Amino acid sequence: MSNEKKEQQVFMCPVCCLGETKEAGHLMGPNCEERFQADVLEKLKHHQPVKTELDYAIGLTEGNIASQQEQLDELKNGSSTYWDQAYGEIQRECRGVRLPKEKFLQAVKTRFAEIMKNTGQPEIAEGIVSLGEIIANLNSQLDWLKSLKARQPNGKNNHAEEAAPAAD
C-alpha cells in the first residue's frame, strides 16, 4: 500500500467510540485531541500532573474495551440458549467434517442470526455482531498504541512534545 493511500485511510477513534474518525498515524480523532488539550490545560491550572497524549489514549481505549465487552456480555447472557442451539445445529450438520475455527464460528453466527430473526429479536444478533467488531477494532488499535509506547524512549510521547510550543 502506498504512503498516499495509507494517509487517506480513516479509523474509528478509540477514545470516544462515537464514530469520530481519525487519520492514519493520529492517536485519536480531532475532537478528542481538543478534549485532551483542554484536560491538560485544566490540570495545569490546578497544578496537577498530566498524562501524555499516548497514555491518555491508551487509558480511554482500555476503558472503552471494558465497557463494550460488558455490553456484549449482557447481550450474550440473554441469548445464550439461542447461541447454544445454533452451535449444536451447526455441529450436528457438519457430521464430523472439520472446518477451520473461523469458518465454523461464522456458520454459527449466521445460524444464530437466523434463529434470533425467527424469534423476533434480530437486533440482539446484530448488536452482538456489531459489538464484536467494535471490540476487535479497539483491541487492534490498543495493540498499535501500546506498540508505539514500547518503541518510545523513556515512555515519552513524541507526538505531544512536537505539538507543545517551546518555552521562551
Helix/strand/coil (H/E/C) assignment for every residue in the chain: CCHHHHHHCEEECCCCCCCCEEECCCCCCHHHHHHHHHHHHHHHHCCCCCCCHHHHHHHHHHHHHHHHHHHHHHHHHHHHHHHHHHHHHHHHHHCCCCCCHHHHHHHHHHHHHHHHHHCCCHHHHHHHHHHHHHHHHHHHHHHHHHHHHHHCHHHCCHHHHHHCCCCC
1 in any annotated domain: no
Distance CA 148, CA 113 (A): 38
Render pLDDT for 142-165 as a digit per residue (tens, 0 to 9): 999 999 999 988 645 444 444 443
pLDDT of residue 7: 52
- What percentage of the chain exceeds 70 in pLDDT? 85
108 in any annotated domain: yes
Render pLDDT for 50-73 as a digit per residue (tens, 0 to 9): 999 999 999 999 999 999 999 999
65 in any annotated domain: yes
Which of 32, 13, 31 has its CA nearest to residue 22? 13
Which domain, by its residues, includes 74?
Answer: 8-162
The number of domains in the chain is 1
19 in any annotated domain: yes
73 in any annotated domain: yes
**In sequence order, what are the beta bridge partners of 12?**
21
167 in any annotated domain: no
49 in any annotated domain: yes
3 in any annotated domain: no
Render pLDDT for 24-47 as a digit per residue (tens, 0 to 9): 778 888 889 999 999 999 999 999
